């Protein structure tokens, strides 16, 4: 019930701009803490083992701090109705379904207006690759990949851990996900210090990513979505992102992932749904519609879980 209330608040209101101006956002607080630890302990003169050890300590301290904060808030809010509303409002800040839709819709709107520069700028806010040379179809494909992956990371995963462990579970997951996005890279700077955070994020997203993929497949109503998911999910460089991305590719009948530019290097990632056509700008609107249907399906699943004790 708490997760349903939190998601309803986030879907209707998002994270208010006036609140962000005053107190920022929980992810910003976590990010500042990660930056402090990274600057203090990820020093180049240390050995690989030392940097990895400091990274483990950093990850555990930040995740434990977020979990403790979530537990303290839950323990303090004891009033039956008011406590639920306040806790749901706080929990809503750890879900990003509305902002995810808004960021991807901004790319779609720019593509609808044939403004490729604006589309590239909009997609650069939600992907880590170089976007300055993307075609309109490539821009749409990058946005679709981000939409699919973040449907798990930003929506299903925090709700999943919230259903299991309440606000402390959501806070712990958000800390893990923030750590991975900031230091969980394979480059020379973060390979040692962020190695543990990256593996912990893989574990935390293992079940949510697969649940998201099945929700997308069911919402699409297409056998091709299931087929592509089961065939191509493991081809992705990430053990988790390939599940929702390949399912999205199969549902829309397009190919996703593939080679992409990161800085001055070009990856050799394989295509998901390789035999399909390249994505086009109009596919992004279809992807957003599928995302909304998936969200509705996830809501029904949440409601069913909430009602199960009463039915039993």
pLDDT of 312 over the 90 cut: no
Predicted local distance difference test score (pLDDT) of residue 263:
59
- Among 14, 41, 58, which residue's Cα sits nearest to residue 176? 58
Range from 36-45, 123-132, 261-270, 281-290 carrying the lowest mean pLDDT:
261-270
The whole-number average pLDDT for the span 139-148 is 96
Predicted local distance difference test score (pLDDT) of residue 38:
96
Predicted local distance difference test score (pLDDT) of residue 204:
98
* Separation between Cα atoms, residue 145 and residue 153, nearest integer Å: 12
* Separation between Cα atoms, residue 97 and residue 19, nearest integer Å: 18
Rounded to the nearest 10 degrees, how much is the dihedral formed by the CA atoms of 234, 215, 154, 56?
-40
Which tens digits make up the pLDDT trace of 247-300?
Answer: 999 999 999 998 776 656 667 789 999 999 999 999 999 999 999 999 999 999
Tokens read off for 30:
């976590």
Tokens read off for 180:
């991975």
Predicted local distance difference test score (pLDDT) of residue 133:
85
The whole-number average pLDDT for the span 172-194 is 94
Question: How much is the pTM?
Answer: 0.94
Which tens digits make up the pLDDT trace of 214-243?
Answer: 999 999 999 999 999 999 999 998 999 999
Under 8 Å between Cβ of 273 and 232: yes
Taking all residues of the chain, what is their mean pLDDT, rounded to a whole number?
94
Which tens digits make up the pLDDT trace of 207-221?
Answer: 999 999 999 999 999
Which tens digits make up the pLDDT trace of 80-121?
Answer: 899 999 999 999 999 999 999 999 999 999 999 999 999 999
Q: Which residues pair with 262 in a beta bridge?
A: 265
Predicted local distance difference test score (pLDDT) of residue 75:
95
First to last CA, the chain: 16
Predicted local distance difference test score (pLDDT) of residue 141:
96
Predicted local distance difference test score (pLDDT) of residue 241:
95
Domain ranges of the chain: 2-311
Under 8 Å between Cβ of 229 and 213: yes
Under 8 Å between Cβ of 180 and 33: no
pLDDT of 310 over the 90 cut: no
Q: pLDDT tier at 130 (50, 70, 90 boundaries)?
A: confident
Which tens digits make up the pLDDT trace of 57-73?
Answer: 999 999 999 999 999 99
């Amino acid at each position: 019930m708490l997760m349903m209330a939190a998601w309803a608040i986030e879907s209707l209101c998002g994270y208010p701009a006036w609140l962000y101006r005053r107190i920022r956002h929980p992810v910003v607080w976590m990010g500042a803490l990660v930056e402090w630890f990274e600057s203090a302990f990820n020093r180049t003169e240390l050995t690989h083992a030392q940097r990895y050890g400091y990274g483990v300590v950093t990850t555990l301290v930040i995740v434990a701090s977020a979990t403790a904060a979530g537990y303290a808030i839950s323990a303090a809010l004891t009033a039956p109705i008011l406590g639920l509303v306040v806790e749901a409002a706080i929990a809503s800040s750890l879900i990003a379904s509305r902002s995810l839709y808004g960021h991807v819709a901004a790319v779609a709107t720019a593509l609808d207006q044939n403004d490729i520069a604006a589309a590239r700028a909009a997609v650069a806010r939600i992907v880590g690759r170089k976007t300055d040379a993307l075609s309109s179809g490539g821009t749409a494909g990058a946005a679709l990949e981000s939409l699919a992956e973040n449907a798990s990371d930003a929506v299903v995963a925090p709700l999943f851990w919230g259903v299991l462990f309440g606000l402390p579970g959501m806070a712990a997951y958000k800390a893990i996900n923030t750590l991975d996005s900031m230091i969980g890279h394979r480059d020379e700077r973060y390979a040692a210090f962020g190695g543990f955070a990256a593996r912990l994020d893989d574990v935390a997203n293992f079940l949510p990513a697969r649940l998201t993929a099945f929700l997308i497949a069911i919402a699409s109503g297409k056998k091709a979505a299931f087929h592509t998911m089961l065939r191509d999910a493991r081809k992705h460089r990430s053990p988790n992102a390939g599940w929702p991305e390949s399912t999205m590719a199969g549902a829309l009948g397009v190919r996703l992932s593939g080679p992409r530019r990161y800085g001055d290097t070009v990856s050799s990632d394989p295509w998901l749904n390789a035999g399909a056509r390249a994505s086009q700008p109009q596919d992004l609107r279809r992807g957003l519609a599928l995302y909304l249907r998936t969200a509705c399906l996830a809501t029904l699943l949440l409601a069913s879980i909430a009602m199960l004790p009463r039915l039993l």
